Amino acid sequence: MGQKVNPIAFRMGVTAPWRSRWYAGKRNFGDWLVEDNRIREFIRKEYAFAGISRVDVERIGDKVRITLFAARPGLIIGKRGAKVDKMSEDVGGLVGRAVEVDVKELDTPELNATIVAGAIAEQLQRRSPYRRTMRRHAEMVMDLGAKGIKLLCKGRLGGAEIARSERLVLGRIPLTTLRADIDYGTATAVLSKGTIGVKCWVYRGEHFEEKKKKAPRPEAAQA
């Protein structure tokens, strides 16, 4: 099961927060679901340069609140928040309602799976050797404190006529452990000979690692 389930969806509601937070009846559910997807596609396409990792959508009444997690939030905010206001207007025109945008900075973007996958895809588009690129990014992530990383690239690697896959694993990736803090991200490198898909898993430790100190036994205390 761990090989077939999205690691984030597997932990959604347990150790991972919901990406969309709203409630709707049968009449509005489908429309709002499509609307959320359009918002995410628009933001990722227009503001890809800012290293956007996650887009959360929250609905309160008629207002839509969007929270962006970016590696370079300054490129989105702009001078005195001018670019954020422009983004609110653009997304508001897309969905036809009032939109409020909040931008947050990632604590450690180097350990974010989406950012790592995007960096590898960008290097592949520049014709960098795929094995060397994967190895360099994996070792960098491990040096920064990750406990494991898995990379998977699929497509016409190196300009080959037949598509194939290349896999690299460093450390450990406990896919079926719910308390494991595993981040998952994907990216696509668009080349002249076809596209190459990049998948990345980053194991950053476990949730609930703090263990309660055991009280000494009465016999040990008397001794």
10-62 pLDDT tens trace: 999 888 889 999 998 899 899 999 999 999 999 988 888 888 999 999 998 88
pLDDT bucket at 216, cuts 50 / 70 / 90: low
pLDDT of res. 223: 47
Looking at domain 109-206, its CATH class is alpha beta
Q: Is the pLDDT of residue 3 over 80?
A: no
Average pLDDT over residues 79-89: 82
CA-only gyration radius of the chain, Å = 21
pLDDT of res. 126: 92
CA distances from 113 to 85, 152, 158, 215 (A): 28, 12, 23, 40
**Token digits of residue 64:** 């839509």
pLDDT bucket at 221, cuts 50 / 70 / 90: very low
N- to C-terminal Cα separation, the chain: 51
Four-residue CA torsion sign, 184, 188, 73, 20: negative
CA distance 54 to 56: 6
pLDDT of res. 212: 45
Q: Are strands 148-155 and 164-171 parallel, antiparallel or unpaired?
A: antiparallel
Are 203 and 171 spatial neighbours (Cβ–Cβ below 8 Å)? yes
pLDDT tens string 177-188: 899 999 999 999
Backbone angles phi, psi at 108, to 5 degrees: -130, 85
Are 91 and 43 spatial neighbours (Cβ–Cβ below 8 Å)? yes
Higher pLDDT, 99 or 209: 99
CA distance 38 to 15: 26
**Token digits of residue 211:** 């263990």
Q: Is the pLDDT of residue 75 over 90?
A: no
Higher pLDDT, 80 or 121: 121
Q: Pick from 159, 155, 163: which is nearest to 196 by CA?
A: 155
- Which phi-psi region, left, alpha or beta, contains residue 56 (left: φ > 0; alpha: ψ -120 to 50)? beta
pLDDT of res. 85: 84
For domain 22-105, the CATH architecture is 2-Layer Sandwich (3.30)
CA angle 22, 24, 30 (to 5 degrees): 105
- The domains of the chain are located at 22-105, 109-206
**Token digits of residue 109:** 């973007």
- The DSSP bridge partners found for residue 153 are 166, 198
Backbone angles phi, psi at 58, to 5 degrees: -130, 135
Q: Pick from 97, 103, 153, 148: which is nearest to 129 by CA?
A: 153
Average pLDDT over residues 92-106: 87
pLDDT bucket at 82, cuts 50 / 70 / 90: confident
When the pLDDT of each residue in the chain is averaged and rounded to a whole number, the result is: 87
